[in-house]
Amino acid sequence: MGEQHDNKLKRKVMLTGARPFWDNQLERLFVKEDWEYFSATGSLEQTRETLRIHNIPVLVYVWPAERLAAERIDALQRLADILALAYEYGVESVYFVSTAAAVKDETAERAADGMAVVAEQAVRAWSEWAIIPVTIIRLPEVYGPDSSPKDGLVARTLYASIKKEILPRMDDETTPRDFLYSSDAVYGIYRAIARGCQNEELNLGTGNGLTAGAFASWIRDVTDLPDINDDTKGFKAFPYVQPVLDSSMAKHELGWQLKYDRKSALAQTWNYIQAKVEADRVEAQNRVRSIRWRAWYKKFIPYGENIIGAALMAGIAYWQQGTTVNPQTQMDVNFVYIGTMGLLYGKRQAFIAMVISILIFIVGSLSRGGELISLTYVPENILHITAYLFTAALTGYFADARRFEQESVQWHKRQADDRNNFLRGIYEENLAVKDKLYRQIVNSDDSIGRLYRIIKRLDSIEPENIFNQAAEVTAQILTVDNIAIYVVGTDGYYLRQKIRMGKLASRQPRSLRVADYPYLQNILQERTVFVNKELVKDTPDLAAPIVHQDKVIAVIAIFGLSFEQWSLYQQNLLSITTRLISASMARAYRYEQGIQEKRFVSGTRILHAEEFRKIIKELENRRNLQADFSVAVLKVDMSNLDYAGLDGRLSHVIRNEDFVGVGSNGVYILLPDADEAVTAMVQERLQGAGVATVVCKAVE
């Protein structure tokens, strides 16, 4: 119980991100100071499970060093995933271990590690959004024990010198670069976390950089290696430039001081690397020796066992007075010997055993007083030797067949493994491409996100607004400029232009007689997308129906397609778009029917004042779509009329797309897309029906 209570009091920290060579040193330090330490370098799901179970308050994310430069795009994605988990599971503070290359040097136009700059900006923005403190700890190049040949310039140089490989060259010989011993770096990170340092930028370093020449002298003084700048060919230049950072804040805030001087630190690193290379060499030699021994054993053990079997058979023949046939069982033990060799090792060892058995048989016969020549005249002897041959061939055949089958299975397995590895390689490449292009795909023209943002504008319950949005939505999804929407009349013989966009659309007739246009007849009957494959004049390039209750209520016509837009892809987009518009229109019609009494004056098609204002607003929006769109306003003289009487007289006089509604100062008729001539004609028709009107500039 006491141990369990102590565990509950332990502070917890998790290391994630890249796995540096000094992670074991960091773990040992935290464990020594009675922290509960977790390392999350596995899958994201494992990290999620660890955070969920252990409720870890402190998270340390390590930005990758030079050896992982090719994976930094993936590191950004992983950083975003880890920060999302930190927010989800209530992490209290985050420590982002960055690199000195994320800071721009005074003499440089930009920082040496641009991706690290992006990562630092990302964690700052996340901290402001999540209200979780983030501390950025920048490290110069870290060296020390446990480092591999890819862990920075120091490790590369020391390993290359021992292995007699070409040493790295510096791409800048005058700008200094700082180097920090791993124990000092680990202690600085621990101090920042243990002190609860939050929302700070801490630089850890010696503050005293080394130029390329000074670096060579430092290496030579400790290791007695020749001048590392002498060999300047055959090796890609190493990015030497990194700013030397000021660590005064870390010293002041954390009380952090360097414990190791450069010479002793490099000496410890050099001793470790020498021991590591020697251990690797010995291990490689032992591995080669073991492989050779196994190969020799596999090759010669069948012969050894065959010799042992031959000696055993000779001993049995001697013990039985020169015969291998047991007098009690009347069985020749040579058959067992030959069969065993054949079943275990195949025809080669079986035939060797057969030859030895024949020799034992002949020697035994001679020892019993027989003669060599006389043996060939005795049929029993010939049959006995033939039986030896048959046993060797038969058992050897079965053994070889089994071995061939096993080799075939292994070959097929290797082939399957090769195919699996090939497919896995393709899969991993696809994942890399997916991660790299993810944001580009999301923002591309045909992405689901973009289509959703556009289609969402159809989420309306006003038919007039849907017609307005339908034109804009179609234009954006298909990337076209010329669109006209025609509404089908109640009789189905004519179509009236409702909305138009673009110069080509403005040249189209305002009304279409169905009998004059075969493509309209086909659309109304088949309710499918029309494609002007024959390039018929005065015909849209693409047209599609808007359907409500299995009846075409409108047609969208598209003009002026570019060459690359004549594709099945565009047709499918138009078909999907019109279906979405139809669904929105059906919803609007159902809503309109449901609020019929609230929308219109009782028993009439005259809009209430509030609904009439909505129509006026939609017509104003339509004018923004088409600059030449005009609306004539007629004020009705209601001196001798009531609403019901007016509605009865207007039923066959005005168009379906015209609107009658109650304004602040009376009843008005709106005539969309009507010029002065059309307005005068409508006034004459109204006068004939007993309705007097006056032209107004606007609804009052």
In this structure, are 61 and 36 located in the same domain? yes
Range of the domain at 251: 2-280
Specify the CATH number for the domain of residue 472.
3.30.450.40
Specify the CATH number for the domain of residue 612.
3.30.70.270
| In a domain? residue 90 | yes
* Burial (CB count within 10 angstroms: exposed 0-12, middle 13-18, buried 19+), residue 679: middle
- CA-closest candidate to residue 26, choices 40, 37, 17, 18: 37
Q: What pLDDT does residue 241 have?
A: 62
Query: Looking at 574, 594, 614, which one is the last position of a domain?
Result: 594
Residue 190 predicted with pLDDT over 90: yes
Confidence of residue 183 (pLDDT cuts 50, 70, 90): very high
Confidence of residue 360 (pLDDT cuts 50, 70, 90): confident
Alpha helices in 346-462 (DSSP H): 347-367, 372-375, 379-442, 448-455
Q: State how far the Cα of 528 lies from the Cα of 546, in Å rounded to an integer.
A: 10
Number of domains in the chain: 4
Q: What percent of the chain has pLDDT over 90?
A: 7
Q: What pLDDT does residue 7 have?
A: 44
- Answer yes or no: are the C-beta atoms of 483 and 474 closer than 8 Å: yes
In this structure, are 40 and 171 located in the same domain? yes
| In a domain? residue 559 | yes
| In a domain? residue 299 | no
DSSP secondary structure letter of residue 672: E
| In a domain? residue 255 | yes
Query: Looking at 557, 578, 594, which one is the last position of a domain?
Result: 594
The 10s digit of each residue's pLDDT in 112-162 is 777 888 888 889 999 988 889 999 999 988 999 988 888 888 888 888 888
In this structure, are 10 and 41 located in the same domain? yes
Lowest pLDDT segment from 103-117, 125-139, 248-262: 103-117
577-to-284, 476, 530, 571, 622 alpha-carbon distances in Å: 66, 11, 14, 10, 20
In this structure, are 632 and 588 located in the same domain? no
In this structure, are 507 and 545 located in the same domain? yes
Specify the CATH number for the domain of residue 129.
3.40.50.720
DSSP secondary structure letter of residue 93: E
| In a domain? residue 569 | yes
Query: Looking at 579, 594, 609, which one is the last position of a domain?
Result: 594
In this structure, are 150 and 171 located in the same domain? yes
Q: What pLDDT does residue 460 have?
A: 62
Residues 6+ apart with CB under 8 A from 169: 229, 231, 232, 235, 237, 238
Q: State how far the Cα of 202 lies from the Cα of 58, in Å rounded to an integer.
A: 17
Confidence of residue 452 (pLDDT cuts 50, 70, 90): low
In this structure, are 170 and 208 located in the same domain? yes
| In a domain? residue 503 | yes
Q: What pLDDT does residue 5 have?
A: 38
Encoding tokens for residue 132?
Answer: 């979780």
| In a domain? residue 293 | no
Q: Is the overall model pTM greater than 0.95, yes or no?
A: no
Amino acid at position 657, single letter: E
The 10s digit of each residue's pLDDT in 610-658 is 888 888 887 787 777 666 677 888 888 888 788 888 888 887 778 777 8
Confidence of residue 189 (pLDDT cuts 50, 70, 90): very high
Q: What pLDDT does residue 109 have?
A: 63
* Burial (CB count within 10 angstroms: exposed 0-12, middle 13-18, buried 19+), residue 186: buried
Strand partners, 634: 669, 695
In this structure, are 649 and 583 located in the same domain? no
Buried-state track 208-231, b at ≥16 Cβ within 10 A, e below 16: ebbbbeebbebbeebbebeebeee
Lowest pLDDT segment from 424-433, 446-455, 499-508: 446-455
Q: What pLDDT does residue 372 have?
A: 63
| In a domain? residue 570 | yes
In this structure, are 191 and 223 located in the same domain? yes
In this structure, are 609 and 685 located in the same domain? yes
Residue 8 predicted with pLDDT over 50: no
In this structure, are 214 and 129 located in the same domain? yes
The 10s digit of each residue's pLDDT in 311-337 is 888 887 778 777 777 667 677 777 888
Mean pLDDT of 467-474: 78
In this structure, are 535 and 679 located in the same domain? no
